[in-house]
């Protein structure tokens, strides 16, 4: 049976029907690796419009992008009593080795590359059932639980800086935008190490912190070929169980 989700024009955004699946009668899953960033961003905006008319619907995007940087609306402000010092990127992008995209999400400069698993949840927030803080906590929890299944235990989001951490190393970043209570943008999990991006980051401070703070999952556990796709499938199963 067709739903309003079928009204989305997939080819316009570089997608084929094979990149999409229905999780249930109200949830569309899109999986697209090395997706052009502008096309992915435009697709998210199209989904946001759809959810304004059909707030019960949800779109879950799992993807990666070519090497690039994004710049949000500004770095995380320290909470009262915290003395964290973050370094803001103030350049215009001309000093960066890869394209810079200025976008609507919260946060500062961050990076993307094909070895990441990016999760964009397009959902309508509800103060009683799914607040922004609960959504963020849930996404980190589902990711942590999936990582545990893969042998990487002890990750958590209990840090004064937003993210998923393994001790003092940051594995995932989160930046959300909200339009009329509908979320877009999301989480980037560093899964495979990208040496070219790692080199590019040496003179930068992604999310305001030193580049050596960042780590990838493959620094802690062995990841055979095809792991990213399999991990994404496991993550989506956990998501389905957690978000009925």
For residue 132, what are the CA distances in angstroms to 21, 102, 175, 196?
Answer: 25, 22, 11, 34
What is the C-alpha separation between 121 and 130, in angstroms, rounded?
12
**Options 207, 228, 232, 239, the catalytic residue:** 207
Classify 187 as helix, strand or coil.
strand
Q: Token pair for residue 13? A: 């955004």
Distance, CA of 19 to chain centre: 18
What is the C-alpha separation between 133 and 91, in angstroms, rounded?
31
Q: H helices of the chain, where?
A: 37-53, 132-149, 195-200, 227-242
What is the C-alpha separation between 157 and 166, in angstroms, rounded?
9
Q: CB-based burial of residue 108 (10 Å sphere; 0-12 exposed, 13-18 middle, 19+ buried)?
A: buried
Verify whether residue 207 is a known catalytic residue. yes
Catalytic residues: 207
């Amino acid at each position: 049976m067709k739903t309003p989700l079928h009204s989305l024009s997939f080819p316009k955004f570089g997608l084929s029907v094979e990149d999409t699946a229905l999780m249930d009668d109200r949830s569309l899953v899109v999986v697209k690796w090395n997706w052009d960033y502008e096309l992915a961003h435009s697709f998210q905006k199209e989904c946001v419009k759809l959810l304004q008319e059909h707030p019960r619907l949800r779109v879950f995007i799992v993807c990666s992008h070519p090497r690039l940087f994004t710049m949000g609306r500004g770095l995380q402000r320290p909470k009262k009593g915290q003395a964290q010092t973050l370094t803001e990127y103030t350049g215009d992008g001309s000093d960066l080795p890869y394209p810079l995209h200025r976008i609507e999400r919260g946060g500062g400069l961050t990076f993307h590359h094909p070895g990441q698993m990016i999760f964009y949840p397009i959902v309508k927030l509800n103060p009683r059932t799914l607040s922004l803080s609960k959504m963020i906590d849930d996404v980190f929890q589902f990711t942590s639980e999936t990582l545990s299944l893969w042998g990487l235990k002890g990750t958590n989001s209990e840090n004064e800086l937003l993210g998923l951490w393994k001790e003092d190393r940051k594995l995932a970043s989160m930046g959300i935008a909200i339009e009329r209570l509908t979320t877009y943008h999301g989480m980037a999990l560093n899964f495979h190490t990208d040496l070219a991006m790692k080199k590019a980051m040496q003179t930068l401070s992604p999310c305001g912190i030193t580049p050596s703070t960042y780590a990838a999952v493959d620094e802690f556990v062995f990841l055979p070929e095809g792991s990213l796709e399999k991990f994404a499938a496991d993550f989506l199963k956990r998501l389905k169980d957690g978000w009925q």
